Amino acid sequence: MEYRTLAETKEVAAVHPVDSRKPLSKRERLERWADLLDDHGGSLRSLYETEFAPRHKRRTMREDNSPLSVAFADPVLRGQGLQGDAYGDAIDFFGLSHGELHHILCYCHCGHMIRAGMVATRVREAASRVRESTGYGLQACIVTASAVAAAAIAALF
């Protein structure tokens, strides 16, 4: 590995500072992870049979050179609160369900090794399903549902 100062790095790459004090949304965290995986390239190790492990064991599952270790190597994600490269750390930090994370990195979906680009695609799919908070909350959903019901009843008459 070759070490360079920030000034030397700016000569050969675009450097975009990230304010790690501003909390990233769930979608932003997932998109950053996907970008890191794309940048990493190559093959990564999957996690073995996450669906069969007891919950307490599953939370501690990890592998060197896994998609989770790529995320944990990023100082921005660590600065945002990523605690480690174990399965449970990813569940907590990225806000994914067991089913979502299982699909992203379990051995049964990809074998022992998986291309980083494939994992990035799966992470982006999860990010695309994230609904960011609109600030309207449950009250707006109830009003909208009531309006839909009223319109349906009015259409009957």
Question: How confident is residue 8, by pLDDT bands cut at 50, 70 and 90?
Answer: confident
Q: pTM of this prediction?
A: 0.71
CA distance 118 to 27: 18
Q: What are phi and psi of 139, to 5 degrees?
A: -55, -45
CA distance 50 to 36: 23
Q: What digits encode the pLDDT tens for the residues 67-107? A: 999 999 999 999 999 999 999 999 999 999 999 999 999 88
By C-alpha distance, which of 18, 145, 157 is closest to 75?
Answer: 18
pLDDT for 85 equals: 97
**End-to-end CA distance of the chain, in Å?**
74
CA distance 144 to 116: 42
pLDDT for 139 equals: 43
Mean pLDDT of 104-121: 90
3-state secondary structure 47-78: ECCCCCCCHHHHHHCCCCCCHHHHHHCCHHHH
